[in-house]
Amino acid sequence: DAKTTQPNSMESNEEEPVHLPCNHSTISGTDYIHWYRQLPSQGPEYVIHGLTSNVNNRMASLAIAEDRKSSTLILHRATLRDAAVYYCILRDNYGQNFVFGPGTRLSVLP
Amino acid sequence: GAGVSQTPSNKVTEKGKYVELRCDPISGHTALYWYRQSLGQGPEFLIYFQGTGAADDSGLPNDRFFAVRPEGSVSTLKIQRTERGDSAVYLCASSTNGGGGPYEQYFGPGTRLTVT
């Protein structure tokens, strides 16, 4: 699976939008882009995934660049509960396990 | 519905002892994964089961680590002759389908293992 690069940490104010970037310049045509987050003392939880088109769900939006070499996870209104480590991961149709990097630690300020 | 559960939540053991960590996946999930997470790092893959068989055990660090899933549901991760370096949070995840690509994994809360 191709590698991703994320900032180590980011800060946001409560109730403001947050844009978490992810670079994946070596992505292949069959790689899905997954985002998981890990709240303190919990296991990772699914946030969103996409292949080519932008995606929206109740938790977040995923904006995928046209060349697919980068993507952005968008939290529309950050809450204190959104403080977590966010992981951007690529996985193709043949890969089973996720290969986690260090992720981005998001702090949300009241 | 019930999510993935793991027991115990915490385990403290002495160096050299044997430990077993249990994972109860979501009912009906055929795929089961074990990961290990050290402090400040992302989870690291250990082993993947599809049904009863270990489809990929390439992440197991050495032969002290072994996992089983005899009936295709509950899985047990077994660590022999524990070492202080084995201290970590052990995470279990399950998925409806063993295929890669878009399929989501559901993680349990983990077992924190401390080897003294």
Over range B103-108, report the average pLDDT: 92
The answer, yes or no, to whether residue B98 has pLDDT greater than 70, is: no
Chain A residues with a Cβ under 8 Å from any Cβ in chain B:
30, 32, 41-46, 49, 51, 85, 87, 91-103
Q: Does B41 touch chain A (CB under 8 A)?
A: yes
Residue B100 has pLDDT above 80, yes or no: no
Report CB contact under 8 Å: A46, B48.
no
Q: Is the pLDDT of residue B77 over 90?
A: yes
pLDDT at position B1, please?
59
Which residue on chain A is closest to B107 by alpha carbon? A43
pLDDT at residue A97, as a whole number:
81
Write the DSSP symbol of residue A54. -
Average pLDDT, chain B: 94
By the 8 A CB rule, do B33 and B90 touch?
A: no
Which residues does chain B have within 8 Å of residue A32's beta carbon, measured at their own beta carbons?
100-102
How many helices, marked H, and strands, marked E, lie in chain B?
0, 11
What does the alpha-carbon distance between residue B12 and residue B86 come to, in Å, rounded to a whole number?
A: 11
Residues of chain A short of pLDDT 70, as ranges, are: 1-2
**B43-73 pLDDT per residue, tens:** 999 999 999 999 999 999 999 999 999 999 9
Tokens of A104: 């981005």
> Please, are residues B75 and B92 in contact by the beta-carbon 8 Å criterion?
yes
Determine whether the interchain pair B105/A93 forms a contact, defined as Cβ–Cβ distance below 8 Å: no
In this predicted model, what pLDDT tens digit does every residue of A19-28 receive, in sequence order? 999 999 999 8
Tally of CB atoms within 10 A around A84: 21
Does B42 touch chain A if contact means CB atoms closer than 8 Å?
Answer: yes
Cα gap A27→A5, rounded to integer Å:
12
Q: What is the pLDDT of residue A1?
A: 56
